[in-house]
Amino acid sequence: MLHQKVHGKPLVYFDNAATTQKPQSVLDALTGYYNNDNSNIHRGAHALADRATRYFEETRDAIREFVNAREAAEIIFTKGTTESINLVAATFGRKFIKKDDEIIISTMEHHANIVPWQMLCEEVGAILKIIPISESGEILYEEFENLLSPKTKLVSIVHASNTLGTINPVKKIIQAAHSVGAKVLLDGAQSTSHLEVDVQALDCDFLAFSAHKLYGPTGLGVLYGKREILEIMPPFLGGGEMIKEVTFEKSTYNEIPFKFEAGTPNIADVIAFKSSLNFINGLGKKVIKAHEDDLLAYANEKMSEIKGFIPVGTAAEKVSVISFNINGMHPYDVGMMLDANGIAVRTGHHCTQPLMKRLGLEGTVRASFAVYNSKSEIDAMAESVAKIARIKNK
């Protein structure tokens, strides 16, 4: 995938915050399932069903270990981070959040961590409150503390911003939210691929993330939830697998996690995702973070030398994301010109329109780095951006 040419130039793939490329071991696991083990799970009495079920549940346990959950039953499979957040809004939210209760999110949230709460608030009459941020792209923690009250029922916060790279002080946020009796959901779509995430050490109530940002398949997400909370939440979807017994008069629901996994799941991608986790664990999160931090520091140094370069998001603690603009140029034009040179970046509002409004921007160019990126690729991007900037300033 990475050894190809785009528009006649060697591909430089800097769109990892959108999705990562997949190791060969993941592709092999995916095709291996369809070639050798393809069967529905949990309900079969034959060898293929038994193998598929075992591999499927091995991935659940691998995820439990990856985020240090207490037990595999606290790991629920979804379609992605978006569905994981919607699941919490539709179940926990509808049951436990009432009129005039308060939900707190931040200015830098992805739309997936805004819209479900807006919909819930419109439905039940709850109030959505927003944590402001500084010009550098860091939340104003004292302002967050001022928003907390006995009416706060949920804080839903991004761990690491997909647009700015900002790493939020989530442990402090969780402790403060719990002090007023609120539950906390972490959007870990970006953080889980870059940072050590230990749900027990953080004491978060929910964690949502996606496989495809962790070198895994698309269409697969994870929701971690504390057992005691998941057990009192109503089901999300009705159908097979999520029930114990069905009659026309009444149905009784299955135990967690199956209560939230109606229908035939995304079996192949779940099984292949274990190979993604093995890939990450084999390298080690500390090694990954050190490499990506080195790339980020190098990119900041090289790009800051370019006349007309405007960084967006300069928080002290960041994952390997650099957002920027070129003075006088639309980010889409910059992105298209980089693409002509074989350099893949993301442009636009990055599904964070309220953040763009706060910063007074239409959008940014975003380069995001992963384990397979190199300083020579950053040199290529910096050289191309410098040429683009010179063309504009002629």
Ordered structural domains, the chain, with CATH: 5-16+284-392 (3.90.1150.10), 24-282 (3.40.640.10)
Q: Which of 6, 18, 124, 351 is catalytic?
A: 351
Summary mean pLDDT of the chain: 95
Is residue 23 within 8 A of residue 372, CB to CB? The reply is no
Would the CA dihedral through 189, 190, 192, 197 be positive or negative? negative
Asked if 367 and 386 count as a contact pair (C-beta separation under 8 A), the reply is no
pLDDT beyond 70 at 312 = yes
Query: What is the C-alpha to C-alpha distance for residues 240 and 254, in angstroms, rounded to an integer?
Result: 10
Q: Which of 107-121, 138-152, 242-256 has the lowest mean pLDDT?
A: 242-256
For residue 372, the model assigns a pLDDT of 98
pLDDT for residue 394: 59
Q: Which two tokens stand for residue 29?
A: 């696991």
Instruction: Tell me whether residue 351 is one of the annotated catalytic residues.
Output: yes
CA dist., res. 33 & res. 272, Å (int): 8
244 or 360, higher pLDDT? 360
The candidate with the shortest Cα–Cα distance to 24, out of 2, 54, 9, is 2
Q: Checking DSSP bridges between strand 127-131 and strand 152-158, what pairing results, if any?
A: unpaired
Q: What is the predicted pLDDT for the residue at 392?
A: 67
Q: Give the count of beta carbons closer than 10 Å to the beta carbon of residue 240.
A: 15
Q: How far is CA 349 from the centre of its chain?
A: 16
Torsion of CA 249, 255, 259, 264, to 10 degrees: -100
Task: Tell whether omega for the bond before 257 is within 30 degrees of 0, i.e. cis.
Answer: yes
Strand partners, 368: 15, 321
- Length of the chain, please? 394
Average pLDDT on 210-233 reads 97
- Between the CA atoms of 326, 332, 338 and 343, what dihedral angle is there, to the nearest 10 degrees? 120
Q: In whole angstroms, what is the distance from residue 64 CA to residue 227 CA? A: 13
pLDDT, tens only, 76-89: 999 999 999 999 99
Instruction: Tell me, yes or no, if the pTM score tops 0.85.
Output: yes
Cα 13–chain centre separation: 19
CB-based burial of residue 3 (10 Å sphere; 0-12 exposed, 13-18 middle, 19+ buried)? exposed
Q: How far apart are CA 143 and CA 126, in angstroms?
A: 20
- CA 265/CA 258 separation, integer angstroms: 10
pLDDT-based confidence at 250, cuts 50/70/90?
A: confident
**How would you write 294-342 as a 3-class SS string?**
HHHHHHHHHHHCCCCEEEECCCCCECCEEEEEECCCCHHHHHHHHHHCC
pLDDT for 289: 96
Within 10 angstroms of residue 27's Cβ, the number of other Cβ atoms is 14
Query: Do strands 321-326 and 309-312 pair parallel, antiparallel, or not at all (unpaired)?
Result: antiparallel
How much is the pLDDT for 393?
A: 64
Contact indicator for 338, 381 with CB cutoff of 8 Å: yes
Least confident of 26-30, 43-47, 287-291: 43-47
105-135 per-residue burial string, b: 16 or more CB within 10 A, e: under 16: bbbbbbebbbbbbeebbeeeebeebbbebee
Q: Mean pLDDT across the stretch 262-275?
A: 95
Phi, psi dihedrals of residue 208, rounded to the nearest 5° = -120, 135
**Window from 234-243, 302-311, 364-373 with minimum mean pLDDT:** 234-243
How does pLDDT run across 147-162, given as a tens digit for each residue? 999 999 999 999 999 9
In angstroms, rounded to a whole number, what is the distance separating the alpha carbons of residues 81 and 188?
8
- Count of beta carbons in the 10 Å neighbourhood of residue 394: 5
Grade residue 262 by pLDDT with cuts at 50, 70 and 90: confident
Q: What is the pLDDT of residue 43?
A: 77
Cα torsion through 64, 65, 70, 76, rounded to 10: 0
